[in-house]
Structures are given as structure tokens and as C-alpha cells.
Amino acid sequence: MRDLRAGTASGTGIGTGPGRLLVVLYAVFTIGAASRSAYQLSTRFHEAPLAYLLSAAAALVYGFITVALVRGGEGARRAAFACCVAELTGVLAVGTWTVLDPSAFPDSTVWSDYGRGYLFLPLVLPVTGLYWLRRSRSA
């Protein structure tokens, strides 16, 4: 397995320290969102296709962030940063949409109501990820 400190000489890589907790949380969210959306897409797609496709998109974003955090390096940092921005944009857009027009989503997504069904972690994770990526950037 790759050294999670890859990409920095100072040992403050994106996958070290608090970054390891982010890796674990993003991995858990990847597995959770992917398995949930796979089940929903394969068994109940006709009930709420938009919600289930958004959950699948969230799983992809979580997966990209997980891999980037584990890989380390400047390219991975940029990719993780872009994915965290996309995630935060998705959480804010879908969260606002579900609050303003709940009928648009017959079933919830990972990002519905700003991640309320997941203790608001979908809203907190990208903010924390962006903070960590900026803080741990190599000089």
C-alpha cells in the first residue's frame, strides 16, 4: 500500500493526521452511497430516478476524493480540491432544491436537505476536506 504521506517532504501529506480520518469517512460514504444507489437504481429506478442518479453521482465524487487523498501528491491534491468543490456545490444545490421543492424528490438523496439523513456530514465533509487540502499543502 502506498505511503499516505506521499507528495510532501515534511510529512504533512493530504492523507496523514486528520487526513486519515477524512480518508476513512470518504471511504465509508463511498461504500454507503454506492451500495444504496446501486440497490435503488436496480430495484426502484421508476420511483425516483433523479434522486437515485444523484446518489450515484455523490458516490462517484466520494470515490474520487478517497482515491485522491490516498494517492497524495500535487496532482491528486488538485483533483481532490476540485471534487470537494463539486461536492459542496452539489450539497448546496440539491439541499436547497429539496427544501424549496420537496415534491421534486419522491425519495431522498445523500445530499437531500443538506445531508440531514446523514447527520449533515455531506455538508461538513467537503468544507473540512477543502480546509485540510489547503492546510496540508506543501510549500
Chain segment 17-52, per-residue pLDDT in tens: 778 899 999 999 999 999 999 999 999 999 999 999
Can you read off the three cell numbers belonging to residue 35?
A: 451500495
Per-residue pLDDT band for 15 (boundaries 50, 70, 90) equals low
8 A C-beta contact, residue 125 and residue 21: no
What is the average per-residue pLDDT within 112-122? 93
Residue type, 50: L
Q: How far is C-alpha 46 from the geometric centre of its chain's CA atoms?
A: 25
Phi, psi (5° rounding) for residue 6?
Answer: -55, 145
pLDDT for 137 equals 76
Per-residue pLDDT band for 13 (boundaries 50, 70, 90) equals low
Is residue 81 over pLDDT 50? yes
Is residue 11 over pLDDT 90? no
Q: What is the DSSP letter of 44?
A: S
Q: How far apart are CA 63 and CA 80, in angstroms?
A: 10
pLDDT for 9 equals 40
Can you read off the three cell numbers belonging to residue 105?
A: 424528490
